[in-house]
């Protein structure tokens, strides 16, 4: 940095400090002049958005970031609102390569109010770029709730500032948008498929309390929700790996391909574990050559194949196949060996 540049920068910083204002604007992801409206999904955890600082000249030695949703929430004597569950002012931000870590008072003060601070390790940084990433939980709040004020200027704790430098802040709003109208569309891509099944299975394994996974509205996220997803939401039957509405050799081929490997539903993993194994073969055998919806009586082909059809309270509490499924075991072995056999060369 030239001597002239250092002098000009010092003059700007001193002028900013004296006046209490600087040419810094804090804005949201969709505007360069204000926080704006932040659209989040209703009743969903772990949603993120970014806050930015913008300037062409002003350099700072730290930040005191204050964030408030609504009027501060019940613990601050206000009304309930979505919660702040995380704030990151270091990763990828203007302070990433020049900071002393988080200030000792940093943290979520109450669910709707947070304060995070840091200072530069040496000199100063240009206040232009990503300032923070926020994580918000909207569980229990829906599209007809709100919108909720998103305040960074005058929170019940303090205003956001860069030490003596006060930025320009036009506060914004959090607006909730409806989840997809498709039941079971857990990844919100407007279709329900094997990827949604895998998300549900992961949620069940993790013991997630997220109501989005409670498809049968039982109040508990468990294997019954997987049964509901397959039979009620997707309208098919257990063992239908490719979700074409029937269990046949195509599904058996997928099971053979992924046998003893880690896979999801599309790889013929039909239960709550991580590996395609005999338990999954048992599920497939129990429905082999059936189509959705289930017939009132098993097709004749089941008898011809010598399959033992078990009646289970839950299709996913599968057991090892009975000897009656030996033919499917042979088919699995033959398919698996055929895939492993090296191609002949000429």
CA pair distance 194, 234, nearest whole angstrom: 10
CA pair distance 40, 19, nearest whole angstrom: 37
Three-state DSSP at 71 gives coil
Q: What is the mean pLDDT of residues 299-325?
A: 41
161: β partners? 64
Q: Where in the chain is the domain with CATH 2.60.40.680?
A: 3-177
Q: What is the mean pLDDT of residues 328-345?
A: 57
CA pair distance 85, 73, nearest whole angstrom: 14
pLDDT of residue 87: 98
pLDDT of residue 64: 98
CA pair distance 311, 293, nearest whole angstrom: 16
pLDDT in tens, 23-75: 899 999 999 899 999 999 998 899 999 999 999 999 999 999 999 999 999 99
Q: What is the mean pLDDT of residues 126-134?
A: 97
- pTM comes to 0.57
The mean of the pLDDT values for the chain is 84
pLDDT in tens, 264-290: 999 999 999 999 999 999 999 999 999
- Total count of residues recorded for the chain: 346
Q: Which CATH fold would you assign to the domain 3-177?
A: Immunoglobulin-like (2.60.40)
Q: What is the dihedral of CA 9, 10, 14, 20, to 10 degrees?
A: 30
| SS3 per residue for 141-159 | CCCCCCCEEEECCCCCCCC
pLDDT of residue 333: 61
pLDDT of residue 338: 54
Q: What is the mean pLDDT of residues 103-108?
A: 97
Percent of the chain with pLDDT over 90: 67
């Amino acid at each position: 940095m030239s001597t002239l540049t250092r002098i000009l920068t010092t003059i700007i910083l001193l002028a900013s400090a004296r006046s209490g204002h600087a040419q810094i604007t804090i804005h949201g992801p969709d505007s360069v002049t204000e926080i704006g409206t932040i659209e989040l999904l209703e009743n969903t955890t772990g949603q993120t958005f970014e806050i930015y600082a913008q300037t062409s000249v002003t350099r700072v030695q730290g930040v005191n970031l204050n964030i408030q949703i609504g009027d501060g929430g019940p613990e601050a004597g206000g009304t309930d609102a979505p919660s702040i569950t995380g704030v990151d002012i270091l990763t990828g931000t203007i302070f990433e390569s020049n900071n002393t870590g988080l200030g000792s008072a940093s943290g979520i003060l109450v669910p709707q109010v947070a304060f995070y601070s840091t200072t530069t390790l040496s000199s100063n940084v240009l206040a232009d770029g990503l300032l923070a990433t926020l994580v918000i939980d909207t569980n229990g709040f829906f599209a007809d709730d709100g919108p909720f004020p998103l305040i960074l200027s005058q929170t019940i704790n303090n205003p956001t500032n860069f030490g003596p430098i006060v930025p320009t802040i036009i506060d914004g709003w959090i607006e909730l948008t409806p989840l997809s109208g498709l039941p079971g569309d857990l990844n919100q891509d407007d279709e329900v498929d094997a990827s949604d099944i895998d998300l549900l299975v992961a949620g069940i394994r993790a013991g997630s309390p997220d109501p989005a996974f409670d498809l049968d509205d039982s109040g508990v996220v468990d294997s019954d929700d997987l049964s509901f997803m397959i039979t009620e939401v997707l309208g098919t039957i257990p063992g239908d790996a490719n979700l074409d509405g029937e269990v046949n050799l195509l599904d058996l081929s997928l099971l053979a391909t992924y046998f003893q490997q880690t896979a999801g539903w599309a790889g013929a993993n039909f239960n709550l574990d991580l590996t395609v194994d005999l338990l999954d073969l048992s599920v497939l055998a129990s429905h082999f050559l059936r189509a959705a919806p289930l017939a009132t009586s098993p097709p004749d082909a089941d008898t011809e194949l010598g399959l033992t059809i078990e009646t289970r309270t839950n299709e996913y509490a599968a057991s090892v196949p009975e000897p009656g499924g030996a033919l499917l075991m042979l088919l699995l072995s033959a398919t698996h060996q055929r895939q492993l056999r090296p191609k002949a060369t000429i």
